[in-house]
Structure 1
């Protein structure tokens, strides 16, 4: 796809006219990244509004002991950038981002984007909606790390990200959820015994979604 077609493929820009897309192309570009490459480090700053076109991105922080703390994944057709202010043309990075698949990223000069679109009240509501969703995502992370027990963590991931749960090795899931592999195994067996999930050829299938949600619903949410 060329630049115009790529922009059209991203839901965030669905309301733009052909003329507006041409304007956006003047200060946008596409960059390819290899698996395991770093997009940015915590405390970096840039002037780009970035969207994941293809691939998969892992967002994480590192504690004072050098341990990686997984935060969340970003999938294609989603905004990557973490904005703390709509008016500030410098975008600060509050975490690290690493590609776990070969990926492509659309980068938009934020200062020119603001001048040509946001200041004219174009795409403003779309940007606010994305930022609110990111805020909710961080609330979920707080619940996962500080409130949920192991069973609630597993149930929450199964409900919110079943595809990724099945794609990753169980040890990787344990690492992400910060629980022991043995604990994850026990939780999955308990959910299976209670007929909430079924495991076939290693993949989890949700049988009783209401019971699964009830495990974490009301716990810090």
Structure 2
């Protein structure tokens, strides 16, 4: 697959013409990353704007006791980089990024990207939309960690990321949500008993989405 075709797989570039796609290609590289490898560590500095073409990434931090604190997942067709400014030539990393599937990453020289596109007001609205979505994601993390109780945490993940919930082992879900496995089991049984979800051979299906959303709606949102 050509670099241009890989770039076309990222919806962020949908409005670019062929000439502009060729410019992106001229300042970009593509790399294949194996499962369990680290993309970057907290406090690293990058000169590239990163996009996940294929695969899955786990974003996390480590506390003073060396405990891993899960933040969120990054899925394919998404920007990875955590931008705080469009003026700086360097991008600071505020967390750790680990691949949890074999993945493909598109790396774009950020300084050239600023020169050829952002300075000409090209892709600025698309970038703004991504940054706003990341801000909302941060608000959700704050709610999950500081506001939600165990039931709200589980309900929120079921509503927002059911596919990932079913993909992971229950112990992994408990670790991500920072609750005990026994607590997760009790919450799922309660939601099932209230006919909000249905658990079939370990797979959760939502039967009453309105009731599920009402559990966390209005709590810090």
TM-score category (smaller protein) = over 0.9
24-33 or 174-183: which moved more?
24-33
**What corresponds to 2:88 in structure 1?**
88
Q: How many residues align?
A: 221
Mapped partners of 2:203, 2:115: distance in 1: 48
SS in structure 2 at match of 1:108: strand
In 1, Cα distance between equivalents of 2:79 and 2:46: 15
In structure 1, the residue matched to 2:18 is 18
Deviation for aligned residue 1:2: 1.3
Partner of 1:139: 139
SS of the residue aligned with 2:65?
A: coil
Q: Note the alpha carbon deviations across 1:30-58, whole angstroms, 9 max, x for none.
A: 01111000000000001110000111000
Q: Aligned equivalents of 2:76 and 2:175: distance in 1?
A: 23
Q: Distance in 2 between matches of 1:30 and 1:171?
A: 34
Q: TM-score, normalising length from structure 1?
A: 1.00
Q: After the TM superposition, which parts of structure 1 deviate over 4 Å for at least 4 consecutive aligned residues?
A: none
| Corresponding residue SS for 1:166 | helix
Unaligned 5+ segments in structure 2 are none
SS of the equivalent of 2:122 reads coil
Structure 1, unmatched stretches of 5+, are none
Task: Note if 1:59 corresponds to 2:59.
Answer: yes
Are residue 205 (structure 1) and residue 183 (structure 2) matched? Answer: no
Question: RMSD between aligned alpha carbons?
Answer: 0.4
Q: What does 1:144-183 correspond to in 2, within 5 Å? A: 144-183=144-183
> For residue 186 of structure 1, what is the aligned residue in structure 2?
186
Query: Match of 1:74?
Result: 74
